Structure 1
Amino acid sequence: MLKRSFCLITFLVVVVIILSQCVGTKTDPRGPVYAGDESCKSCHRSAFDAHRTSAHHFASTIADKHSVLGSFLAPSNVFNFPGDVTVRMESDTSGLYQTAYQHGSPQEKGRFAVTIGQGRKAQTYLSFKENKYYQLPISYFTQVHSWANSPGFPATHPYFNRLVPATCFSCHSSYVNVTTTYEGMQRVEKFAENEVMYGINCERCHGPAKEHADFHTRHPQEKTAQHITRTGNLTRQQQVDMCAVCHSGLKTPQRSLFEFKPGDKLSDYIMADYLATASERQSNDVHGNQYQLLTASKCYRESNQLTCNTCHDAHAVNRNNLQAYNNQCLSCHQPATDRFCTNKALPPAALQQQCVNCHMPVQPSRVITLLPSGKEQPVADSLRSHLIKVYR
């Protein structure tokens, strides 16, 4: 009897352990070859923690009082349109809302569902209704510390019906559950609510990592990365293509950009309009066209090593350390060589602190402008140009 009880208890313990492991293991919606971010943390803690503060991580988040930067307190929660029309940012126990009023009477409202952007420059917001995402009419503009009319929206009235396609999520998230159908001749996308992997996560750039994570969990003594693409082994074009997926402007996809893996050719995924001539690239906007501007630069054309990663660490936040970027320039343009700056207006020591400000200046965007409440003219978002040249 005791032997039978012992066997039964042992069996139950084993079952509980197995079931607890099953319960604790989430299936990645992208498929069995993906491991999920948490699997990266134990071996790559420094990069993991740095990434958690990056703009990539905050490319999208759930909209709540922690992620939305603007005020919900009067009078700072109001955006004014002509004709006694206002939009108020409001909150209650059910969530956050943008509500349009005319002559004080509520007309239409949209619930904050998704926050787009960390807010270093601005944030915009999405609502979800009947399996579709819509951009809300009011964004937050960090430059003026207030609410502003969303880019491209009418300045005369609030507009709640701008559909957000899956292509937007392909650069602001790591996965979204969307199905495509046709209603007559019209292509219709339908999203599953809350089935979004917010932000740009590890495997979005590094590729599927389940086999890699499983191998190194079993073989912790193996320090050479196995079963994953090592970006340093890719060609220069393959490396910049990884960034150009999202930093080459609006594109016409031939297949889902969510399928892009490191080492793939971007030209296999999109129409080749991003492969413009150098002169055409110089007309590209500072917002979103970093690939075109960089590759049009003489520094890029005459180097066989310069890539996005030469200056940028995709994991870390180093944008405030301007001298670190200057030092990258100085690694090629060393003082006391014929490659150093020929400007005689400043001494060499001062020139070494101005490389980026002089040759990659901050410029206003021509395509991203926001209209703050009470203003007559929109204000351009400003970004640093990636066209490296002598500016006069």
Structure 2
Amino acid sequence: MNKRLLYVSLLIISCIIIFSQCIHKQPGEDNKDLRGEQFAGSAACMGCHKRIYDSYLSTGHYKTSGPASQALIKGSFVNPHNVFSYGNGTKVVMEARDSGLFQVAYGDSVLQELHRFDISVGSGRKAQTFLSWRNGKYFQLPLSYFIPAHSWANSPGFPPSYPKFDRVIPSTCFGCHSSAVGIKSVSMEGLQLSEEFEKNQLVYGIDCERCHGPAAEHVAFHTTHPQEKAAMHITKIGGLKKQQQLDMCALCHSGLGTPQKPAFEFKPGDALSDYFFPDFTRPERAAEVDVHGKQYQLFTASKCFIKSDKMTCSSCHDPHNNERNRLQAFSQRCMSCHQPEGPAFCKMTSLPAAVLSKNCIDCHMPALPSRNITMLTEGQTSPTPDSMRTHLITVYREETKAFMAALKK
């Protein structure tokens, strides 16, 4: 058996195992939470953790998916900013109708098809893409919204010459953009896996219990024992081993691996290797890894990580707060190891240490273009790559030159 056939066979077998275990909700069930009675739902956390909860509502984790609405969607529904024209003469118009929001395809001014915006995916910092539910399946709509260009754009990987409305979205995509999705049935159609979803059965965003584990018992205990300050019946993140903490983040920030179990079943403390087959990216080839999606591989190939016994994602990131673009705050965390008076500090001595310590990030973790995520806006002949900060912490000479030149102006 050649390697390609082996990999295909493993993928098919793992998919059958996974989707037979995905979240099903039978008619007549009335759990408070889609995931079952052991889950309390994020709203239950608010009573004791209101400050943290309120702050979390502004994070990318919370905003990574939601019910599509004009308040949530960044793109315009007003002419002429709501029109995208294709090379074959077809145009798609974003329309707000009495019955909802739609992407509507017209050919020679004749309506060809229309599909509802049901779910928005993406925090809205870089881009948003949209799903439409019909006949038990979710389909990605052909147009996404590209924030840097302030424009509707062809969804990544979609044909540039005509609108495609039939790209099916599997439950694996929801594994990192939601906290649960309800699946009515799973079947194999030839070699293709076919899923039927329950409409409106979704726990949006990455909620508290995706990272902290099921909390119903924790909530019940502390409701009846308000005097108890030690957290009971909940996973203490700080009490996990270093690799366990890393695996929690790597579940969604290590790219699309070949699954063994549903991502929704992962609990804090679990081993990522029990859920995905190994990634064989070698640290010495980390510079070849795309900046989108594989932050774990890039981070763990960095000298900062390799030389540290305790460094994890949480060493730099506070998942309860939106710290986007707070470069000085991140740089101060670099200072915990790279003190200005120490040998590990920046060697660019032409500027004062007080200036350099305000921004380590643009030199050592610059925003680089993604090869995998590109957006074609109307009128373009070639797509524009999305850019993301690389998590391979090292020296980027060209970016450093540009940064230093800007400081000296």
* TM-score, normalised by the number of residues in structure 1: 0.91
Asked if structure 1 preserves the Cα contact closer than 8 Å seen for 2:156 and 2:374, the reply is yes
* Residue of structure 2 in register with 1:199 after alignment: 205
Equivalent residue in structure 2 for 1:225, among 211, 231, 251 = 231
Match of 1:13 in 2: none
The answer to whether 1:295 aligns with 2:287 is no
Alpha-carbon displacement from aligned partner over 1:131-157 (angstroms, at most 9, x marks no partner): 000000000011011100001111111
Note if 1:266 corresponds to 2:275.
no
Rg comparison, structure with higher value? 1
- For residues 44-193 of structure 1, what are the structure 2 equivalents within 5 Å? 44-178=49-183, 179-193=185-199
For 1:146 and 1:172, the matched residues in 2 are separated by: 23
- Give the equivalent residue in structure 1 for 2:321: 316
User: Given residue 81 of structure 1, which amino acid in structure 2 is its aligned partner?
Assistant: Y
Amino acid of the residue matched to residue 60 of structure 1?
S
Give the SS at the match of 2:374.
Answer: strand
Residue number in structure 2 paired with 1:363 = 368
Please name the residue that 2:254 is paired with: 248
- Structure 1, residues 269-291: CA drift from partner, whole Å, max 9, x if none? 01112x52202333211111110
Distance 1:363 1:187 in 2: 35
Structure-2 separation of matches of 1:283 and 1:349: 33
- Are 1:282 and 1:296, in contact at CA under 8 Å, matched by a contact in 2? no
Question: Is residue 381 of structure 1 aligned with residue 386 of structure 2?
Answer: yes
Residue aligned with 2:182, SS = strand
Does 2:47 align with 1:42? yes
* Inter-partner Cα distance in structure 2 for 1:32 and 1:281: 42
Aligned twin of 1:210: 216
Classify the secondary structure of the residue corresponding to 1:91.
Answer: strand
Structure 1, unmatched stretches of 5+, are 1-24
Distance 1:391 1:330 in 2: 19
| Equivalent-residue separation in structure 1 for 2:359 and 2:174 (angstroms) | 37
CA displacement at 1:238 relative to structure 2? 0.4
Aligned-pair CA distance for 1:186:
2.9
Number of residue equivalences? 367
* Aligned: 1:329 with 2:349: no
CA contact (8 A) 1:249 1:289 kept: yes
Instruction: Report the secondary structure of 1:267's partner residue.
Output: helix
**CA pair 123-204 structure 1, distance change in 2 beyond 3 A:** same
Deviation at 1:185, TM superposition (A): 3.9
Could you say which residue in structure 1 is the equivalent of 2:245?
A: 239
Q: Partners of 1:40 and 1:233 in 2: how far apart? A: 20
Equivalent residue for 1:339?
A: 344
Partner residue in 1 for 2:32: 27
The separation in 2 between residues aligned to 1:164 and 1:184, in whole angstroms, is: 18
* 4+ residue segments displaced more than 6 Å: none
Shift of 1:319: 1.3
CA distance in 1, matches of 2:179, 2:79: 36
User: What is the CA-CA distance between 1:374 and the residue it aligns to?
Assistant: 1.5
Matched to 2:114, the amino acid is K
- 2:249 counterpart SS class: helix
| Contact 2:34/2:202, CA 8 A, preserved across alignment | no
Pick which of 98-107 and 296-305 moved more. Answer: 98-107
Conserved? CA contact 2:40–2:219, under 8 Å: yes
The alpha-carbon deviation at position 190 of structure 1 amounts to 1.0
Aligned residue for 1:139, secondary structure, equals: strand
TM-superposed CA distance for 1:26, in Å, is 5.6
Q: Distance in 1 between matches of 2:326 and 2:333?
A: 12
Could you tell me how far 1:298 is from its partner in structure 2?
0.3
The unaligned stretches of length 5 or more in structure 2 are: 1-29, 398-409
What is the rounded CA distance, in whole Å, between the counterparts of 1:111 and 1:221 in structure 2?
49
After TM superposition, give the deviation of residue 318 of structure 1 in Å.
1.0
Q: Following TM superposition, by how much is the alpha carbon of 1:315 offset from its aligned partner in structure 2, in angstroms? A: 1.2
Kept in 1, the 8 Å contact 2:31–2:37? The answer is no
TM-score w.r.t. the length of structure 2 is 0.88
